A and B are shown apart, each in its own frame.
Chain A
Amino acid sequence: MEFVYQALVYPLQQSFFQKALIGGSIAAIVCSVVGCLVILRRMAFLGDALSHAMIAGVAGGYLFMKLVFQTEAYAPAMLVGSLIAAVVTVGSIGFVSRVSRVKDDAAIGIMYTGVFAAGVVMVSIFRNYIHIDLVHFIMGDVLGVADHDLWVAAIAASIVLTAVILFFRQFQLSSFDPVMAASIGMPVVLIDYALTTCVSLVVVSAVSMVGVILVVGLLITPAATAYLLCDRLDRMMMLSAVFGVTSVLGGLYLSIWLDSSGGGAIMIFCTLQFLVVLTVAPQYGLLARWTRLRRMVPEQLVEDVLVTLTRQGGTAATGSLLAGVIGADQERISRALKFMTRDGLLVQTPEGLSLSPDGEREARRILRAHRLWETYLHRVGIPAGEVHQKAHVLEHVHDRDSVEYLDDLLGHPISDPHGARIPENHVSCEAGNICSLSILREGRTVSIESVGAAAQNSGLYPGQEVTIGPRLEDGVTWSVLLEDGRTITLSHSVADAIKAKVLS
């Protein structure tokens, strides 16, 4: 009990801890809220730039008041100085990337290091006039927060939060779709500057606590954490603020227990928080992603199951039987079977699972692709022993256009090199469809729709009803039975040129 009291309650009674908690929370809330817009606009690097550029502004403001009014460390002047430095930095970044071939990110890198360096040099040259502790500035000192820091944070926070709440729609639309925003008359450029000013204010208010280097973390990390959990900007901002405050609270305790730097502890806590959410977030987290991937049934496996079932006559399969044939482990197979039943490809029968009409159609389509690929591979000279294996891979290329290309290239073969029948193109050959006569198989009755140039002398004319006869001469000659009993033979190109409407 004594231990818990020492660890949790005792710090809360200390005034330095209270100030750190209040100041840190204010800064964190406003950082996190603005951070949402910053990450959605992909401006994270700009936040970093602004925080570094500040030092020049702080030094400038200090120096100005000191030399002109002889006042020491006048906070409002340093604040204004920081804002001026921020605006100058942003302006010069925009200028450089606009007028030269140097891109945005490089321009940011150049300008902020330049302004930062100018600040550092200024502070060291005028070290007799300016009493700024550079280390304090760079690392921050949340546990040594002074009253005026609290005031700065509170004023900056109220200005920024008011702006974000009042102009939420403007910020939202101009970050989501600037073109639309401009088209309905929103002042997009002004909104951009307003956002940059907000970021500057926020950074200024947080630097004294977590330091130049870590402030960008406070801006980005809680917002990114909330981003993993939210699908609405307003909720993301609220949750982000909560994460900001928990970071400060957790971080401060951590720094007391470990006797470490306050800013560092806050950012460590904040980062850990992010990593935990990244792992467990219900939708965008790693675990969720991993289970989704695991649950997903690969299309290839589904196709393998379909084809195996067709080859076995289409009925009564058990998982273990299929697992043996396909060569996948039984767990994956049963998951695939469940998935396919849900998708309507399989139906449960008393004897086991069998193909539904949809499943049969799909299976025929894949089998057709497989056997056409086999014929193709045989034709291009692949050794017989490798044909099946290669076709097994290629059968998953089965979009309609590719398969029909193969079919035509190979002269609409009826059987594959092993003598197995290639299923008919059952989509195009459905009754009522108009298709080229060449893709029809023996036994179909059709009425001729049109006769192309290549088939002018074929003896067929539009309106005739004919029955397709057997393929002759090793499959390269088509035969057609007329109603009067005559038989007409056609070559591939002539058969291609005749369009027929399928009757049955």
Chain B
Amino acid sequence: MGTNHDIPAIEVKNLTVSFGPRPALLDMSVRIDQGVSVGIIGPNGAGKSTFIKAVLGFVKPDFGTVKILGFPAAQAKGLVAYVPQRGAVDWDYPITVAEVAMMGRYGHIPWWKDPSRSDWQIVQEALEMVRMEEFSDRQIGQLSGGQQQRVFMARALAQGADILLLDEPFAGVDAATENAILDVLDRAKKSGRTLLVVHHDLTTAGEYFDLLMLIKQRLYAYGSPEAVLNPDLLGEVYEGKLRVFSGLKGQRESV
């Protein structure tokens, strides 16, 4: 996209967001470089969804800044492509695979125009990239879980954004689907995109992502899985709500 690769994909500085006396995010600073895949982990109610909203430019910070590729988040519309949680989508909606992917182009099409040939071309390429081109005319409810996730990945790719934000793509999917999604994430990363993935499963977090970000109101750790999946740190953040810390992938290498 011709952007300078020294500019961080996402740069958060001293971000505090609150909806009352207890802040959702407190003094968070993090710099995520371009082209990495980051797993965002943390207990329920830790501010993961607030962080997503901050990156998408939906929240007004009490203090601090969020910059996307150097632009303030509120003005960086469309630079981050969002892939919603499976549960947030109405799978009965009368819409086909190609139409969902085309939504990725909506931000680029002026309101008085129809999608152009090049828009359709981009959609086609995005569907090919996730191997869904054969299903273009299928209604989205008639797909398997993995295929559904891939359609939304295609939409994110068609959007042309360099940063993909995925909200729990692995929640409630079977092993085969999980592999299919991983495969798509891998291809997206190989093409130079930055991936931000909210992830629940600590046992696979170290295996799936280059870097992990552990948050609970504050940023507890950001770095390699070996460093972040540290029993003491996890114990502090999860307050004993998580019993199985041993045997997490990534930990073993550090011992």
Q: Measured between alpha carbons, how far is A183 from B90 in the docked complex, in Å?
A: 18
Asked whether A173 lies within 8 Å of B57 as measured between CB atoms, the reply is no
Q: Measured between alpha carbons, how far is A175 from B99 in the docked complex, in Å?
A: 14
Determine the chain B residues whose CB is within 8 A of the CB of A87 once the complex forms. Answer: none
Asked whether B111 lies within 8 Å of A169 as measured between CB atoms, the reply is yes
Within 8 A of B (CB), among A186-202: 186
Asked whether A231 lies within 8 Å of B139 as measured between CB atoms, the reply is yes
Determine the chain A residues whose CB is within 8 A of the CB of B96 once the complex forms. Answer: 231-232
Residue B61 is within 8 A (CB to CB) of chain A in the complex? no
Residue B16 is within 8 A (CB to CB) of chain A in the complex? no
Q: Measured between alpha carbons, how far is A466 from B118 in the docked complex, in Å?
A: 64
Within 8 A of A (CB), among B55-98: 56-58, 77-78, 80-82, 84, 88-90, 93-96
Asked whether A182 lies within 8 Å of B94 as measured between CB atoms, the reply is no
Asked whether A185 lies within 8 Å of B103 as measured between CB atoms, the reply is no
Asked whether B93 lies within 8 Å of A169 as measured between CB atoms, the reply is no
A211-233: CB near B (< 8 Å → 1, else 0) gives: 00000000000000001001111
Within 8 A of B (CB), among A65-99: none
Q: Chain A interface mostly helix, strand, loop or mixed? A: helix
Determine the chain B residues whose CB is within 8 A of the CB of A173 once the complex forms. Answer: 103, 106
Q: Which residue of chain B lies nearest to A185 when distances are taken between CB atoms in the complex?
A: B77
User: A167-B111, A183-B56, A184-B159 are known contacts. Are A227 and B78 too (CB-CB below 8 A)?
Assistant: no
Determine the chain B residues whose CB is within 8 A of the CB of A232 once the complex forms. Answer: 94-96, 99
B107-123: CB near A (< 8 Å → 1, else 0) gives: 10101100000000000
Determine the chain A residues whose CB is within 8 A of the CB of B57 once the complex forms. Answer: 183
Q: Which residue of chain A lies nearest to B85 when distances are taken between CB atoms in the complex?
A: A179
Asked whether A184 lies within 8 Å of B95 as measured between CB atoms, the reply is no
Asked whether B139 lies within 8 Å of A169 as measured between CB atoms, the reply is no
Determine the chain B residues whose CB is within 8 A of the CB of A177 once the complex forms. Answer: 84, 88-89, 103
Point out the residue from B82, B94, B159 that lies within 8 Å of A227, measured CB to CB: B94
User: A183-B78, A184-B77 are known contacts. Are A176 and B56 too (CB-CB below 8 A)?
Assistant: no
Q: Measured between alpha carbons, how far is A183 from B161 in the docked complex, in Å?
A: 12
Q: Measured between alpha carbons, how far is A423 from B109 in the docked complex, in Å?
A: 62
Determine the chain A residues whose CB is within 8 A of the CB of B81 once the complex forms. Answer: 183
Asked whether B78 lies within 8 Å of A184 as measured between CB atoms, the reply is yes
Residue A1 is within 8 A (CB to CB) of chain B in the complex? no
Determine the chain B residues whose CB is within 8 A of the CB of A176 once the complex forms. Answer: 90, 93, 95, 100, 103
Determine the chain A residues whose CB is within 8 A of the CB of B109 once the complex forms. Answer: 169
Asked whether A182 lies within 8 Å of B84 as measured between CB atoms, the reply is no
- B66 CB, nearest partner CB in chain A, Å: 13
Q: Measured between alpha carbons, how far is A343 from B95 in the docked complex, in Å?
A: 30
- A281 CB, nearest partner CB in chain B, Å: 13
Q: Which residue of chain B lies nearest to A229 when distances are taken between CB atoms in the complex?
A: B94
Q: Measured between alpha carbons, how far is A169 from B159 in the docked complex, in Å?
A: 15
Q: Which residue of chain A lies nearest to B78 when distances are taken between CB atoms in the complex?
A: A184
Residue A236 is within 8 A (CB to CB) of chain B in the complex? yes
- B13 CB, nearest partner CB in chain A, Å: 21
- A213 CB, nearest partner CB in chain B, Å: 28
Q: Measured between alpha carbons, how far is A180 from B57 in the docked complex, in Å?
A: 12
Q: Measured between alpha carbons, how far is A180 from B106 in the docked complex, in Å?
A: 10
Asked whether B77 lies within 8 Å of A183 as measured between CB atoms, the reply is yes
Asked whether A169 lies within 8 Å of B94 as measured between CB atoms, the reply is no
Q: Measured between alpha carbons, how far is A116 from B58 in the docked complex, in Å?
A: 37
A44-76: CB near B (< 8 Å → 1, else 0) gives: 000000000000000000000000000000000
Which of A40, A167, A231 has the most chain B CB within a 10 Å cutoff?
Answer: A231
Determine the chain A residues whose CB is within 8 A of the CB of B78 once the complex forms. Answer: 183-185
Asked whether A179 lies within 8 Å of B95 as measured between CB atoms, the reply is no
Asked whether B103 lies within 8 Å of A230 as measured between CB atoms, the reply is no
Q: Measured between alpha carbons, how far is A170 from B110 in the docked complex, in Å?
A: 11
Asked whether B82 lies within 8 Å of A179 as measured between CB atoms, the reply is yes
Determine the chain B residues whose CB is within 8 A of the CB of A175 once the complex forms. Answer: 93
Q: Measured between alpha carbons, how far is A231 from B94 in the docked complex, in Å?
A: 4
Residue A325 is within 8 A (CB to CB) of chain B in the complex? no
User: A176-B90, A179-B88 are known contacts. Are A185 and B107 too (CB-CB below 8 A)?
Assistant: yes
- A42 CB, nearest partner CB in chain B, Å: 9
Q: Which residue of chain A lies nearest to B80 when distances are taken between CB atoms in the complex?
A: A183
- Taking Cβ atoms with an 8 Å cutoff, the residues of B that contact A are 56-58, 77-78, 80-82, 84, 88-90, 93-96, 99-100, 103, 106-107, 109, 111-112, 139, 155, 159
Counting from the closest, the 9 A-B pairs by CB-CB distance are A185-B77, A184-B107, A231-B139, A184-B78, A183-B56, A236-B94, A183-B82, A233-B94, A231-B94
Q: Give me 23 A-to-B residue pairs in the complex whose CB atoms sit less than 8 angstroms apart, sorted by A's number.
A: A40-B93, A40-B94, A166-B112, A169-B111, A172-B95, A173-B103, A175-B93, A176-B90, A176-B103, A179-B88, A180-B82, A182-B58, A183-B57, A183-B78, A183-B80, A184-B77, A186-B106, A230-B94, A231-B94, A231-B139, A232-B95, A233-B93, A233-B94
